[in-house]
Amino acid sequence: MTGITGAEQELVELVRQRYASAASSVTAGGERAGCGGAEAESSGASCCGPEPVEVSETFGSTLYAATERDELPVAAVAASLGCGNPTAVAELRAGERVLDLGSGGGIDVLLSARRVGPTGFAYGVDMTDEMLDLARTNATQAGATNVEFVKGTIEDVPLPDAAVDVVISNCVINLSVDKPKVLAEMFRVLAPGGRIGISDVVAEDQLTPAERAERGSYVGCIAGALSRTEYLDGLARVGFVETSVEFTHQAADGMHAAIVRAVKPT
């Protein structure tokens, strides 16, 4: 990334370290103590595989349907750090080309690949080598052949203009230090008539940046969140139409997980 300050570069490195550590934690997981025992069998719990990195009512794999989680390698589910299920909100269709910004362990790319089918394709972009390695392993285990994970930043996506029909992202845009560039890149890589279906943390309009920072850290997806109006204005500024930001559940006081939708004009 160019044109960012020293303080912003420090935030980029903090985010990179946070997600590299999360990927390494999942990769180092393996079987957990007590797996396969009578207690696990009687409870119906699945205790094999790595521990989820983060699971709560706000973040993590519990935001996906059990039927979706059960379709995927346990490491892809364990590495889920998002605040929603963008593959559902984007209403993916067979044959579409999909791009996931900040694809992490690959859960949304793998789900997208299933939704778009063999005539479609799903790309994932991530800046963290550890997450890319994990995602590629998960794709191999899932037998997904219509996917590709590419190293890059969401501010400078390594895909050509009009390369995809849909852009998704799961609680990643709030981590960027140059959100206008991210929004512009989404518009650029979309084909005319393409759309975005994004899950992200969004602040209520009355909260100042300082008040957002009081409610949580930058790497925790809180301090860097845009407000609803900032999101809508930013999308319109780069050319999107039919924009909307819908709050779904609370992430912190005055801040919410949200569904963000918009369309690139034909």
Instruction: Tell me: pLDDT of 131 over 80.
Output: yes
Measured distance CA(225)–CA(256) in Å, rounded: 10
pLDDT recorded at residue 71: 63
- Residue 36: pLDDT band by 50, 70, 90 thresholds? very low
pLDDT at 38 exceeding the cut of 80: no
Residue 84 has pLDDT above 80, yes or no: no
For a pLDDT cut of 90, what percent of the chain falls above it? Answer: 56
DSSP 92-154: --TT-EEEEES-TTSHHHHHHHHHH-TTSEEEEEES-HHHHHHHHHHHHHHT--SEEEEE-BT
108-130 per-position pLDDT tens digit: 899 999 999 999 999 999 999 99
Can you give the pLDDT at residue 63? 54
Those residues with Cβ within 8 angstroms of residue 23's Cβ, 6 or more apart along the chain or in another chain = 79, 104, 105, 128, 130, 131, 133, 134
The pLDDT, as a whole number, for residue 149 is 97
User: Any idea where the domains of the chain sit in the sequence?
Assistant: 6-263
Residue 156: pLDDT band (50, 70, 90) is very high
Q: Other CB atoms closer than 10 Å to residue 242's CB: what's the count?
A: 11
Lowest mean pLDDT among 47-56, 131-140, 202-211: 47-56
Nearest one of 175, 150, 181, 143 to 164, comparing CA atoms: 150
Average pLDDT, the chain: 83
Query: Which helix (H) or strand (E) is 230 found in, with range?
Result: helix 228-238
pLDDT (0 to 100) of residue 72: 55
Flag whether pLDDT at 51 surpasses 90. Answer: no
pLDDT score for 67: 60
- For 6-34, what is each residue's pLDDT tens digit? 888 899 898 888 878 877 777 776 433 33
Considering the domain delimited by 6-263, tell me its CATH architecture.
3-Layer(aba) Sandwich (3.40)
Structure token digits, residue 236: 């319109």
pLDDT digits (tens, 9 = 90+) for 56-71: 454 555 555 556 655 6
Q: pLDDT tier at 41 (50, 70, 90 boundaries)? A: very low
